[in-house]
Amino acid sequence: MKKQFVATTLIAIIGLSTIGGFAPVNIQNMQVSAATINPQNNQAAVEAKANQLIQTAKSLIGKATYSNTVYKPTYPYKFSCASFLMYIFEKNGVDLATYNEDYMMKQGTYVAKSQLQKGDLLFFDSRGGKVPNHVGMYIGDNKIIQMADPTQKIVITDLDSKPYYTDSYITARRVLPTLLPSNPATKGDSIVSKAYILKDKVTMGTTNNASSLRFTATGFVDHIYKSNGVTLGTTNLKELMKKGTTVSKANLKKGDLVFFNGVTGSSTPTMVGIYAGDHRIIVPNSDGVLTRVLFVDYYAKHYITAKRVISGGTTTSVAASAPTSSTTQVADKVVNFATNLMSKAKFGYSYNESTLTFTSAGFTYYVFKEHGIDLKDKLASGQAQAGTAVSKANLQKGDLLFFSTNNGGTKITQTGIYVGNNEYLSLTTKGIVMKDKLDSTFAKQNYVSARRVLK
């Protein structure tokens, strides 16, 4: 149920009604489910991500207590219904950017109750109105998982088990696929992904140093775009607002820059954010790199304009682009280096370059590090956020591959390096680096996704 949190790490949510040009959700007028169409062509990723969300949610059963006033994202966990969902999405690399049910209900697309799929959010109002005070996540078979109340805590519930779920039901929203990259990934997807990867790794200050990941607010923005081949040419906020072409708030796309003032009505910017899709923004400031939703009253009142700085407003497919000669050379070196380690590297639950002892992800981290590419994480799940998404049909030599190990093809626990000819290398728990085919039984059952980290 929805109340305000005292935790300083969460967003102070204010206001409901129509704000900043966004009309309120009119549930009664929605007759068809736009969510049944997936224009982003990423349904496989949606299904895999939904299964990850469900697995994480189930793993918290019996480990969390209900609280309206305290959010505790470490054991013993404390959640409300909405912060529980915010947490499990965030743990799986998907940012809802809010624990407010009202704002959650304005994200994604409407989906009819008869067309629910795993990962959809369902909203209820026990007061008989249309403003939600409870939310759960659909897990299939007419069931939802939810932080129900102080007595039940986290439970799995059949939607036909009690009249409440019929009488209090408002609507459902499909936040996957729009919170995930398209297939193939667009330039905007790549910019947003890079910003999320660095979100908790950078230090905000008064100078810019890419090697130490220390940036000013505009320096961070400049670095993110430069990493994706977009030269902004300035770290001056006023000059930055002159770049690109003006775009209305109603037509924002991932990768657009949004500007805010410090005094309502002023045309002088004091803050810039990166639009991340579905009303979400990534905002660098002195407190760090934050994620918010544009529905919050502050951002509505202080919004100035938005600029599209991606050339021509196009959505260039990074994943489908042909590799340059320099990229091909680096890929060859990466693959050759990894191949030469087949009889030398060994598996272990540690990271030791002197003895060449690694986990699967530690091995890929080491291989790419030796060629000047920092994957930022020695965990497979963390590496799965690096670079840009690439479909299985468009793999190139040097792409990172991600697998489960439970024959479920969902939870990422193992990495590999694509070497071409439908083959990949991976350091497995069998103790050695092995080469395997992507159409092997293991790969078919456990392949999850791929990322392109070579440019």
What global pTM score does this model have? 0.64
Same domain assignment for residues 66 and 128:
yes
User: Rounded to a whole number, what is the distance in angstroms from the first to the last CA of the chain?
Assistant: 46
CATH number at residue 41: 3.90.1720.10
Residue 392 is given by DSSP the state G
Nearest in space to 129 (alpha carbons), one of 170, 82, 166: 170
Spatial strand order in the sheet of 447-452: 388-389, 447-452, 400-403, 414-420, 423-427, 433-437
Please state the domain count of the chain: 3
Residue 151 and residue 229 in one domain: no
Residue in the structure block whose two tokens are 């990768």: 255
Cβ proximity of 30 and 173 under 8 Å:
no
> Quick check: bond before 163 cis, omega within 30?
no
Q: Are residues 224 and 355 in the same domain?
A: no
Range of the domain at 410: 325-452
Residue whose C-alpha is closest to residue 446's, from 48, 41, 176: 48
Domain match, 100 and 196 both: no
In this structure, are 288 and 156 located in the same domain?
A: no
Q: How far apart are CA 247 and CA 345, in angstroms?
A: 52
Are residues 58 and 145 in contact, defined by beta-carbon separation less than 8 angstroms? yes
Indicate if 287 and 199 belong to the same structural domain.
yes
Report yes or no: 213 and 288 within 8 Å, Cβ to Cβ. Answer: no
* Claim to verify: residue 106 and residue 204 sit in the same structural domain: no
Reported in sequence order, the residue ranges of 117-226 that DSSP labels E, i.e. its strands, are: 121-124, 134-140, 143-147, 154-158, 169-174, 203-204, 214-215
The angle formed by the CA atoms of residues 430, 431 and 433, to the nearest 5 degrees, is: 100
pLDDT by 10s per residue, the chain, length 455: 444 443 333 333 333 333 333 334 444 334 445 566 788 888 888 999 999 999 999 999 999 999 999 999 999 999 999 999 999 999 998 999 999 999 999 999 999 999 999 999 999 999 888 899 999 999 999 999 999 999 999 999 999 999 999 999 999 999 999 999 888 889 999 999 999 989 989 999 999 998 899 999 999 999 999 988 899 999 999 999 999 999 999 999 999 999 999 999 999 999 999 999 999 999 999 989 999 999 999 999 999 999 999 974 333 333 334 555 567 788 999 999 999 999 899 999 999 999 999 999 999 999 999 988 989 889 998 898 888 888 888 899 999 999 998 887 678 899 999 999 899 999 998 889 999 999 899 998 889 899 999 87
| Together in a domain, 121 and 192 | no
